[in-house]
Amino acid sequence: MDDIRQTAIDRFRAYLERRQFSVHTVANYTLDLRLFFAEVSMPLAQVSFREVDQFVEHQHHSGRAWATINRRLNALKHFFAFGVEQQLVRGNPVKPSHFVRRGHPLPKPSPASKSNGSLPRSLIRWTARCFS
């Protein structure tokens, strides 16, 4: 990793510590940035959404959990937002579409809706009145 990227990561780490982020968050974000820049060899200012796409794809094919991928994306998003503030980069290459969305399971039926397979009598009577 070149000196400019390492200096930017060190400054970002100091920024997180000043903002009183959790020790674990600071350590994990730093590791996540090092993993990203180990794969991306271009200068910091030239990183685009394509490199982020490739990183997400590589993480997915490596079997990383969705939560891990999203945490790494958050680290990148915050790092590049910091870079924009510090005028190290022009824009943030991390887009909302990069984040992995988890599906939601369908709701389970409530115990009151469980039946023996027949319709309630009131529904049967209402149907009979309406359609007879």
Would 121 be classed as within a structural domain?
A: no
Would 112 be classed as within a structural domain?
A: no
Q: What gap in Å lies between CA 105 and CA 91, rounded to an integer?
A: 36
Residue pair 12/33 in contact (Cβ under 8 Å)? The answer is yes
> In residues, how long is the chain?
132
Would 27 be classed as within a structural domain?
A: yes
Domain CATH for 87: 1.10.150.130
* Single-letter amino acid, residue 128: A
Would 9 be classed as within a structural domain?
A: yes
What is the tally of structural domains in the chain?
A: 1
53-107 residue pLDDT tens: 999 999 999 999 999 999 999 999 999 999 999 999 999 999 998 898 877 777 7
Would 97 be classed as within a structural domain?
A: yes
Q: What gap in Å lies between CA 88 and CA 109, rounded to an integer?
A: 53
Is 0.85 surpassed by the pTM of this model?
no
Would 91 be classed as within a structural domain?
A: yes
Domain containing 48 equals 3-101
Residue 2 is classified by DSSP as -
